[in-house]
Each structure stands twice: as C-alpha cells, then as structure tokens.
Amino acid sequence: MNKTGNKKIGKVSLWITLAFLMLFIGFCVYFTFMFIFFNPPTNASGVPGYITFTKDFQQRMMESLDVVQVRDWLNTLSESEIDKLHNQQFRVNAFPIELPNTINNLKSEMSYITIIKDDQYGICLRMTGGGPVGHWGVVIGSKKMPVPETEDVKYDKDGYRYIGEYRVKLEDGAYVWHEIK
C-alpha cells in the first residue's frame, strides 16, 4: 500500500477515536448532572447539602450584610420607583437605582435583585445568587414581616413540579433561603 492510503486510514481512525471520546465525555457529564439534581448530596450524617450550605450562607450574611442599611435604603425609594421596579428581576450590576454599599459588596455572591411590594408588610428586597447546581439568596423586609415556613417541592394536578425553598432566619423580617429541587 502507498503512503497516502495509510495517512487516510490514520486520519479516519483518529476522527473515530475523537468521536467516541466526545461521546464518552458527554455521557459522563449527563449522568453527573442527573445524579446531582435528582440525588441531592448529603454530608456524612445524612443531612442534605442545601441545609449545610444555607447555615454557612446565613453565617456569612450575618457577618457581611447590613440589614439596617438595606431597610433604610428601601425606605428612601419613592412610590413611582417602587412601582417601576416591583416584581422585576435586575442584575446587581445593572440595577437602575444606586444600591447601598452593603449590597454592592455582595456582587460576587448575589447576581439578581427583585423589589417586591406587599400590601401587608410593605416592600422587601430579594437577592438571588447561584448557578446550575442551585440558587440561594436573602430576603429583607420590614421587621414585622414573618419568615415563611420552609416549602418542600410540590406537584400540581397535572404533575408540574414547583421548586421549594429552605428558609433560615437572619433576624426579624430577614432570612436566607436555598431552593429545594
């Protein structure tokens, strides 16, 4: 056989090998993803990972977030600003109004901000962080706002799945949360 024929066979076998390698990597990524999302990791004592994470996150927020400063800032918002911002999710670095320093200092941990207007408790701020493995955040409202009970995953009559939230109190009217999938 000539040299050209051997080179063609070598290139074909290289491409076949690369294709199988890519397929193998794809299966590994898929099964890892499925394992993480449908078998939530637990620690050695069997406690789900989101509980341990949320307790650590609560501690970090107690050390780095000034809840009073956020409440004072919320009270400076005009009625027209609240109406404009209500129930819209903004990236922290693209929020249309100047944010207090305590929130700006959390840009590495929090990605989104939502202002929520509640008839009973006034306005509150919901900050969200996270990524493909899960989402978590902080909610700050008036001191009268109760911390809602943890909500587990729910299914409606059509089988639609609603993600739950694990919630831990920071102080009166403020809590940290982590989604439960």
* pLDDT tens per residue, range 130-155: 877 788 999 999 999 999 888 887 77
Show Cβ contacts of residue 168 under 8 Å, excluding neighbours closer than 6 positions. Answer: 54, 55, 58, 175, 176, 177
Per-residue tokens: 108: 């590495």
Please report, for the chain, how many H helices and E strands are present, in that order. 5, 8
Question: pTM for this structure?
Answer: 0.70
CB 130 within 8 A of CB 111: yes
The per-residue pLDDT for range 18-67, each reduced to its tens digit, is 777 787 787 666 655 555 554 455 554 555 667 777 888 889 899 999 99
Q: pLDDT tens across 101-140, in order?
A: 999 998 888 889 999 998 888 999 999 998 777 889 999 9
Q: Where are the beta strands (DSSP E) in the chain?
A: 89-91, 112-118, 122-131, 134-140, 154-155, 161-162, 164-171, 174-180
